[in-house]
Amino acid sequence: METLTEHRQVSGPVVYGFLRLVRVPAARQSALTASLAEYCRRHELQLSGVFTDRGTAVGSAAFTGLLDVLVLPDVYGVVAPALSHLGPKAIAAERGRRIEAAGSRLLLIRRPTPTHPSVSRSVPVRRRRGTTRVRDAES
């Protein structure tokens, strides 16, 4: 019988990290890089490098470098702490499209919050008993 994946050395899919760090202390950068490494370890991904962007342009040097490595064979995707690390909303959307166009996946450690935070998607909606709305046939 063959042992499970967790019990033998297996190289996982290759991913690259991306951090957008504007006016961030070195300790914060180290912590974010460590969180990317831990996420990859838990999900059996091979973190091959981390690109650090210190600007906000769509075509920054760090992001262009990331796109260059995404076309290499056996690259699975990009890992980021949150969508905000791709930039402001408009830039993040464009960068997300470019990552997908390169044939890679964008893996976020922290997913975006729902548009209505008061309503949880995992909790079923409760209806009040005894309140039934009857619609007219005309409406």
**Tens of pLDDT, residues 41-88:** 999 999 999 999 987 677 789 999 999 999 998 899 999 999 999 988
Burial of residue 84, with CB atoms counted within 10 A of its CB: 0-12 exposed, 13-18 middle, 19 or more buried: middle
Tell if the pTM clears 0.85, that is, is over it.
no
* Higher pLDDT, residue 38 or 54: 38
How many residues are present in the chain? 139
Burial of residue 104, with CB atoms counted within 10 A of its CB: 0-12 exposed, 13-18 middle, 19 or more buried: buried
Task: Tell me the pLDDT band of 103, cut-offs 50, 70 and 90.
Answer: very high
C-alpha atoms less than 13 angstroms from C-alpha of 129 in its C-beta half-sphere: 0
